[in-house]
Amino acid sequence: MPENSWATGTAPEVDSTYQRLVALRPETRDRVANRAQGGADADAEHVEEFGAAVDATLDVITAASPDSRILLVGQMGQPDPAYIEQLVLEDPAAKARLSGTGVCDFFDPAGQLVEANFETLTGIIDGYEAEQARVCAAVSRCRTDEGARAAYVDELANFSSDWAHLMPRGNARAPEITWPSVAALLGL
């Protein structure tokens, strides 16, 4: 639901980055857009392609609005075996959805936790974030969150019953974590 977006939402219980900015700078009201979309390939082979896409996006933003300040944020949290084990204790049926032979599978087909996949996924995330930081560093008005969002720790109460989508409570954690980077970027 767009109103629950941590970045641009309007739900009071989320207290999004947008809502926080409007509270301090009322002239920013209604100057928000959310063009988020999923579905991109995210493995180590696509890091360079990702960097080129970020670079092109920054070019579009800076050409259209040269005075804009841009904050690029990283992955919220890191793959955590303890959380996955807690999730399966809460919902044993979730284990089947998390099992397989790919690097994104936390359990093998026999149901054993695959610690190496957590390390592989963390390495892939780190690669994307390093590429994002490299590209951002070339743009004078661009900053990253310097890894702030990586400190987030998943909690079962933050997720919907499919365990794949954050509830408003979970979405509220993101602006809490990200706001100090926003405030620093904007000199608030």
What is the per-residue pLDDT for 33? 84
Residue 163: pLDDT over 80: yes
What is the per-residue pLDDT for 39? 67
User: What is the per-residue pLDDT across 5-49, written as a single tens digit (0 to 9) for each?
Assistant: 999 999 999 999 999 999 999 999 998 888 777 766 678 788 999
* Cβ atoms of residues 39 and 118 within 8 Å: no
Per-residue confidence band for 164, with pLDDT thresholds at 50, 70 and 90: confident
> What distance in Å separates the CA atoms of residue 132 and residue 144, rounded to the nearest whole number?
8
Tokens describing residue 33: 């857009």
Cross-strand bridge partners of residue 120: none
Only one residue has tokens 């690097």, namely 103
Phi/psi for 142 (5° steps) reads -110, 140
What is the per-residue pLDDT for 80? 95
User: What is the per-residue pLDDT across 73-91, written as a single tens digit (0 to 9) for each?
Assistant: 999 999 999 999 999 999 9
92: CB partners within 8 A, 6+ apart: none
- For CA atoms 135, 49, 18, 162, give the dihedral sign: negative
CA distances from 79 to 87, 126, 127, 136 (A): 13, 12, 14, 25
Instruction: Tell me what the pLDDT averaged over the chain comes to.
Output: 92
Amino acid at 80: D
